């Protein structure tokens, strides 16, 4: 295992993203479920403006507590916007950040995903705890 390997080796480059201008919570939830992902970067053009997780969406959903889950969830999704629920200005790393630094940041700050950005906050990829575990598996 190399100590100075860059996160660019393990990050996901082909991303699903949602525009802050025309996205909504219902579409974000559907996109994550259909693509089997747990984190969705929110962008304005190519620039990262936030991130939302499936856990964030489930946290605001009350449907499981009531008999008419779909109608309760729909009213919550209609009431709140992406901006209300997403983490604005999320912690990020750059493509040159080492895998070790990413692992330390994820462990200490208790995040499960970090967007990878380039110049001017342009989204380049995302790295998750799953990416780190898969990297470790390859090493041993």
Using the structure block, give the residue that is written with the tokens 């898969």: 134
Q: Which long-range contacts (CB under 8 A, 24 or more apart) does 104-110 make?
A: 106/132
* pLDDT for 75: 74
* pLDDT for 91: 95
Query: Is the pTM here over 0.85, yes or no?
Result: yes
* pLDDT for 94: 97
* pLDDT for 74: 72
Say yes or no to pLDDT of 68 above 80. no
Q: How far apart are alpha carbons 61 and 28 in whole angstroms?
A: 13
Task: Phi first, then psi: give them for residue 6, nearest 5 degrees.
Answer: -80, 150
Domain ranges of the chain: 7-139
Q: Which CATH superfamily is domain 7-139 in?
A: CBS-domain (3.10.580.10)
pLDDT tens digits, one per residue of 73-117: 677 777 788 999 999 999 999 999 999 999 999 999 988 999 999
Using the structure block, give the residue that is written with the tokens 């901006």: 83
Q: How far apart are alpha carbons 64 and 73 in whole angstroms?
A: 9
- Torsion 20-64-36-112 (CA) sign: positive
- Residues 6+ positions from 27 with CB-CB distance below 8 Å: 18
pLDDT tens digits, one per residue of 9-63: 999 999 999 999 988 898 999 999 999 999 999 999 989 999 999 999 888 876 5
111: Cα within 13 Å, side-chain hemisphere: 21
């Amino acid at each position: 295992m190399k100590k100075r390997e860059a996160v660019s080796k393990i990050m996901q480059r082909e991303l699903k993203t949602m525009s802050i201008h025309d996205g909504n919570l219902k579409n974000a939830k559907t996109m994550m479920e259909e693509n089997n992902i747990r984190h969705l970067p929110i962008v304005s053009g190519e620039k990262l403006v936030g991130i939302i997780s499936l856990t964030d969406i489930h946290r605001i959903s009350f449907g499981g507590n009531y008999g008419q889950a779909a109608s309760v969830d729909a009213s919550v999704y209609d009431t709140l916007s992406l901006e209300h629920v997403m983490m604005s200005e999320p912690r990020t790393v750059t493509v040159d950040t080492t895998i070790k630094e990413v692992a330390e940041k994820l462990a200490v700050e208790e995040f499960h995903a970090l967007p990878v950005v380039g110049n001017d906050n342009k989204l380049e990829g995302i790295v998750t705890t799953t990416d780190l575990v898969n990297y470790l598996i390859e090493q041993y």
